[in-house]
Structure 1
Amino acid sequence: MSSDRKDDHVRLATEQNRDRHRPNDFDDIRFVHHAIGAADLDTVSLSTRVGSDEWPLPLYINGMTGGSESTAIINRDLGVVARETGVPIATGSMSPVFKDASTSPGFRVIRDENPDGIVLANLSANASVEQALEAVRIMRADGLQIHINSVQEIVMPEGDRAFSHWPENIARIADALDVPVVVKEVGFGMTGATVARLASLGVGVVDVSGRGGTNFAAIENSRRTGSDFSILSEWGQSAVASLLDARDVADDGNVSLLASGGVRTPLDAVRALALGASAVGVAGGFLRILRDDGIDALIAEIIRWTEQIRSITALLGKTTTSELTTSDVVIQGGVRDYCLARDIDISGYARRSESEKGQHA
């Protein structure tokens, strides 16, 4: 059943990501253009600090799949792509390894193909400390992603129904591991209070992973034969809203934010970086390209993304991705409404460059 479910997830996620241009909250973030404020392109560095680590790029392949013969092939291909482009990569959930050890090579192939890159292992918040340690060992991982997915589990016919132990379990894992722990949602977003609580549990990096990308409530609902959970298809908040909600927590310096969910273009990636993300993850959109067009096409696409992220950064007058948080952005539409409802002060975002007086015109 687990193997069939993994294959179902890949098929349904690929279909969901056919429409690369569907609107989402990233459209509510617009940069203010300063006509003579651009930086020289060759001065732009794309390296970024994530927690205490330095990543070569502010873009990563987020966790996708594993646990079946067909997904092992996908993981092999993703490992090649990560090696050839230099982007960090996370595995899909390695929970199947602890039910059937024969699935382990289908995850480890990512590291086999990408021996020197940044690789994150991935487990659920139900994992034991022993499983977390073993997952890191198997992957020779540079960190561990713990995914939290209560909405998906509720809709999943065979999903978990107990969640209150997650905080204590996350704290135990964070305390036991000597590599960074990254806690990520699976597409329903986070509040600043959630990020603050995770930081208090010893988590140094949080991927807010919001609504707008692969929708696991819709995927699991399509697998149900009983009650219809389509009422949850729009549950949660976007990565954009989540970044704005959590910005004060990140500014305290105790946690780094990552962003994923609905990142359709390099412009969306720069928008997320400007709102405080240290790096931006993509899964479904890259999976579609890999399955439809192959390894070479995905390598070319990621190279194009990195070139365009660099170009947009220069256009905004910045030479590092961390400087993007001083870019002027206008927040509109539903994101503005969310911020007003949550009492999030966005009044200064459109004039952040005024501290750099005289540089723009």
Structure 2
Amino acid sequence: MSAERKDDHVRLAVEQQHGHSGHNQFDDVSFVHHALAGVDRSDVSLATSFAGVEWQVPLYINAMTGGSEMTGAINRDLAIAARETGVPIATGSVSPYFKNPDTAETFSVMRRENPDGFIMANINATTSVDNARRAIDLVRADALQIHLNTIQETVMPEGDRSFSSWGRRIEEIAAAVGVPVVVKEVGFGLSRETVALLEKSGVAVADVGGSGGTNFARIENGRRELADYAFLDGWGQSTPACLLDAGGAGIPLLASGGVRDPLDVVRSLALGAVAAGASGPFLRTVVDDGVEALVAQLSTWLDQIAALMTALGARTPAEMASKDVLVHGALRSFCDDRGVATGRLATRSGSPDTIHRTIGSIR
């Protein structure tokens, strides 16, 4: 059943990508164009550093799959593409491995194909400390992702229904493992209150995992006989909303959920993220066109991220947090309701004392 469910997830996620409208709240963020702000491309570095972690690029392939023969082949190709481009990568949830050790190869293939790359192992918030360590050992992980997915579990026919212990378990794992712990949502977003709780729990990094990309409520509803949870289709906060809401958090923020292209990556950096990740666009490419096409896609994204930073005058990803942005539409309404002052984002590059301040210091 677990292998069949993993294959269903891939099939339904790719179908979503094929039918995606393309619009989300990243479109409510635009840059103020300063025609003389540009720098020399040779002066631009894509390297980013946070919570003791160093990445050569501010882009990562986020958690997707594993646990079946088909998904193991996908993980192999994802790992090859990560190796060829230097992009960090996360495994899918390794829960199938805990239930059936015979699925180990569908995950460990990622380390074999990408021996020197940055790999994050992915577990759920019910995982024991011992199993968290097993997940790290399985792929010799450089970091551990713990995913939060209450809405997905709620819609999933065989999903969990007990969530009260998740916070305590995250705190136990963060204290016990020897690698940085990243907590991520799976597409419904992290509020600033949740990020504050994660910081207190000893979590190193929060991946806001907002709405706008792959919708796991819709995926799980598609697996239900009556498809009777369609009313949850729009649940949660978008990734830009989460970044603005949690600005000034005491831990670094990663941006995933609805990241469609290099412009969304650069928008994420401008809203306070230290890096941005995507799953759906890369899954669609590797499934439809193969690993060589994914290598080309990732290489193009990295080149275009650097090109946008050059035009905007950002020599590093961190400098993107001082660039002038405008917030429009429903995203601005969300910020107004949550007390986030967006107006000053449009002029923050003009004052020398604000040139290096992050999004949080405007709150």
- Where on the TM-score scale, by shorter chain, does this alignment land: which range? over 0.9
SS of 2:246's equivalent in the other structure is helix
Structure 2 counterpart of 1:233: 233
320, 335, 339: which is aligned to 1:324? 320
298, 301, 304: which is aligned to 1:305? 301
Structure 1 counterpart of 2:213: 213
Structure 1 counterpart of 2:196: 196
Structure 2 counterpart of 1:162: 162
The answer (yes or no) to whether the contact 1:145–1:184 under 8 Å persists in 2 is yes
How many angstroms apart in 2 are the aligned matches of 1:188 and 1:213?
10
| In the alignment, structure 1 residue 269 sits paired with structure 2 residue 265 | yes
How many angstroms apart in 1 are the aligned matches of 2:21 and 2:270?
21
Shift of 1:227: 5.8
How many angstroms apart in 2 are the aligned matches of 1:25 and 1:293?
28
| In the alignment, structure 1 residue 314 sits paired with structure 2 residue 297 | no
SS of 1:292's equivalent in the other structure is helix
How many angstroms apart in 1 are the aligned matches of 2:125 and 2:59?
24
Shift of 1:51: 1.6
C-alpha change, 1:299 and 1:21, in structure 2 (3 Å) is farther
- 41-50 or 89-98, larger mean C-alpha shift: 41-50
Residue-by-residue CA offset, 1:36-60 (whole Å, 9 max, x unaligned): 1101111100000132111111000
The answer (yes or no) to whether the contact 1:20–1:264 under 8 Å persists in 2 is no
The total of aligned residue pairs comes to 354
Shift of 1:19: 4.5
TM-align CA RMSD: 1.2
| In the alignment, structure 1 residue 283 sits paired with structure 2 residue 243 | no
How many angstroms apart in 1 are the aligned matches of 2:95 and 2:351?
48
How many angstroms apart in 2 are the aligned matches of 1:177 and 1:266?
33
How many angstroms apart in 2 are the aligned matches of 1:303 and 1:19?
25
C-alpha change, 1:246 and 1:26, in structure 2 (3 Å) is same
What are the residue-to-residue correspondences of 1:58-69 with 2, within 5 Å? 58-69=58-69
C-alpha change, 1:22 and 1:190, in structure 2 (3 Å) is same
Residue-by-residue CA offset, 1:121-154 (whole Å, 9 max, x unaligned): 0000010000000110111000000000000000
SS of 1:145's equivalent in the other structure is strand
How many angstroms apart in 2 are the aligned matches of 1:162 and 1:277?
31
Q: Normalised by the size of structure 1, how large is the TM-score? A: 0.96
Shift of 1:347: 2.0
Structure 2 counterpart of 1:5: 5
How many angstroms apart in 1 are the aligned matches of 2:99 and 2:292?
34
User: What stretches of structure 1 of length at least 5 have no aligned partner?
Assistant: none
Structure 1 counterpart of 2:291: 295
SS of 1:348's equivalent in the other structure is helix
User: What stretches of structure 2 of length at least 5 have no aligned partner?
Assistant: 356-363
Shift of 1:248: 2.0
Q: Which amino acid aligns with 1:307?
A: D
How many angstroms apart in 1 are the aligned matches of 2:174 and 2:243?
23
How many angstroms apart in 2 are the aligned matches of 1:125 and 1:50?
23
Provide runs of 4+ in structure 1 moved above 4 Å: none
SS of 1:49's equivalent in the other structure is strand
315, 331, 340: which is aligned to 1:335? 331
Structure 1 counterpart of 2:179: 179
Q: Which amino acid aligns with 2:244?
A: L
Residue-by-residue CA offset, 1:292-322 (whole Å, 9 max, x unaligned): 1111111000000000000100111110010
